[in-house]
Chain A
Amino acid sequence: MSHDLRFDLRTRLERFTLEVACTSQARSLGLFGPSGSGKTTIVEALAGWRAVEHGRIALSGETWLDTAAGLRLAPARRRVGYVPQDQLLFPHLDVEANLRFGCGRDDGLVQRVLEVLEIEALRARSVEALSGGERQRVALGRALCSRPRLLLLDEPFGALDKPLRRRILPYLMRVRDEFDTPLVLVSHDATEIAAACDEVLVLREGRIVERGAPAQVLAPSEAADAQESFENVLRGRVSTVTATTALVDLGGALLEAPRSALEPGVPAVLSVRADEVLVATARPTGLSARNVLRSRVETVVNGAAARVLARVGAQPVWVDLTDAAIAELGLAAGREVFLVIKTRSCRVLSSGSAR
């Protein structure tokens, strides 16, 4: 189903004026930027929770907001599935009653959401007894159960630590793939956006400073998290599987990854940390690492964080190296190299669903 989200908002915030305009047909649109850059304001305006001074919002031709015409559709009539940072689960209801809040008697839908998010075992639990990751899944489930026309996810995993976030990300990917609902994902985690979104808006101080496909826009400098290594997000399709591994076709190159829940033929999204990739100038042999991919250096970035950009198939792969290694190997743009990636360095982010 095609859809079309348009918004054009201008409103004064405490430190700056938010001024953003966007028309997007992306099935999942990412809003990326440091905290305090206006991401939540946009999402709250889309949900109808926050008034803006000047603005227009329309989804697939239906106008939700037009300040010039004095039109503002009530939040209830927008039918958005909003998952705010604090989830706002109803504390006096159990998990199932929370899910049913927006959908009433549609047992089929509730059952499907319970299954997709794997929260069936929690259905009779009090929401106060849930862990952070469970709360996130229930909040996502409740939003889905309201049959939204647009999902708004504001840092849905923001409160979780990184390993847990990576474990929950596949649920989001599965939601994206199994429910035909466009979504807007707010995150300051480049990997999340790269894995889940088709298009990303990079925000700074209330303005869109960059826009495009995540692979192009979210280069390591953009992901600027000095403490953590950049995660390359690679997309492909599973060609064959064994009991423990899956061979993923990245469009011209095959990558062996852990099996996870992948099945032959399904799309797969993988992440590989930039500091876990080795670079060789000749094809190495007698190596335990299962992936040796022929590639070509595209860019070399020297400095505090020395990095090399190469490509696998058409997909960019950043590799963290030291200056000395770059110098000794004589890496420069155009140089043919071999990227060495262990199977276990490939993390499966997608769900392995059939679509």
Chain B
Amino acid sequence: MIDSAVVDAVRISLLVAGVSTAIVAAPAIALGRLLARREFPGRSIVETLAALPLYCPPTAFGFLLLYALRRDGALGREALGIDLGLLLTWRGAVLASAIMSFPLVMRTARVAFEAVPERLERMAASLGASRWQVAWSVTLPLARRGLLAALLVGFSRALGEFGATVIVAGNIPGRTQTLATGIFDALQLGDDARALELAAWSVALGFGAVWTSEWLMRRSPRRRA
């Protein structure tokens, strides 16, 4: 029989990675599109800020979040008047994962948009399509494969998030312990068998994610762009 702590870790990992990807998807894709096509003042600042989590230790971001979210922090109860209830909860793990995976999703989406010939979009506009119609009927379908890849990368990054998560959400079995933090916990306790089991689940989930996205791409019609 499977250890209930393992089942919990799988469940929490999927929940955190799933919700984090769902939250990140729209803003990261929108920003990717913006950076792929438009020049605007402050663009390089936005680019740098959005990429920052990629270049800093996750523990640094975890610590900054912890600092901001604690009772007397910038986002704490005393400053906001309400408790966001993020510290030591799975929602905190979602926040940490979302911040850490955002740059990867955004960059992959940006590359996907850059691969769509701009002249095709112009042709669509010349044929009378509104900006929204161009995005919906030309840009998105042609960028679909890359966008799917972006979401997959974000999901996988969230699944593997450790440093920021463990600081913000802790490593509480059954509540905030994910596969990534669970393996560390099992190793610390010398429970190699559980660590191995969690590692096997991690690999299986990674496999499932890649396989699902491949399958999705294959079944969408006329995938060649």
- Listed in ascending order, the chain A residues whose CB lies under 8 Å from chain B are 47-49, 74-76, 78-80, 82, 84, 86, 88, 90-94, 101-102, 126, 128, 142, 146
Contacts and interface: CB of A to CB of B under 8 A. Distances in A.
Contacts of A78: 126
A49 B142 contact: no
B88 interface: no
A101 B134 CA distance: 10
Interface of B: 117, 119-120, 122-130, 137-138, 141-142, 222, 224-225
* Residue with the highest number of chain A CB atoms closer than 10 Å, among B120, B122, B141, B142: B122
A102 B127 contact: yes
B126 A76 contact: yes
A92 B119 CA distance: 15
B128 A49 contact: no
Given A91-B142, A92-B142, A101 B122 contact: no
Contact of B125 (A75, A84, A86, A126): A75
Contacts of A75: 122, 125-126
Contact of B141 (A48, A49, A92, A94): A92
Contact of B224 (A79, A80, A128): A128
Contact of A101 (B127, B142, B222): B127
Nearest to A82: B126
B138 A146 contact: no
A76 B123 contact: no
Given A74-B125, A128-B222, 12 more contacts: A76-B125, A76-B127, A76-B128, A79-B128, A82-B126, A88-B120, A94-B222, A101-B137, A102-B128, A142-B127, A146-B126, A146-B127
Nearest to B223: A92
B119 A88 contact: yes
A91 B119 CA distance: 13
B164 to A, nearest CB: 38
Nearest to A146: B127
Q: B119, B126, B141, B222: which has the most chain A beta carbons within 10 Å?
A: B126
Contacts of A84: 119, 123
Contacts of A146: 126-128
14 contacts: A48-B126, A76-B128, A78-B126, A82-B123, A88-B117, A88-B119, A88-B120, A90-B124, A90-B138, A92-B222, A92-B225, A101-B127, A128-B222, A146-B127
Nearest to B126: A75
A90 B123 CA distance: 9
A96 to B, nearest CB: 13
A101 B119 contact: no
A94 B224 CA distance: 12
Residue with the highest number of chain B CB atoms closer than 10 Å, among A75, A80, A94, A126: A75
Contacts of A79: 128
B48 to A, nearest CB: 30
Contact of A76 (B117, B129, B137, B142): B129
Nearest to B123: A88
A79 B127 CA distance: 7
Contacts of A128: 222, 224
A65 to B, nearest CB: 15
A146 B137 CA distance: 16
Nearest to A104: B128
Contacts of B126: 47-49, 75-76, 78, 80, 82, 146
A211 to B, nearest CB: 27
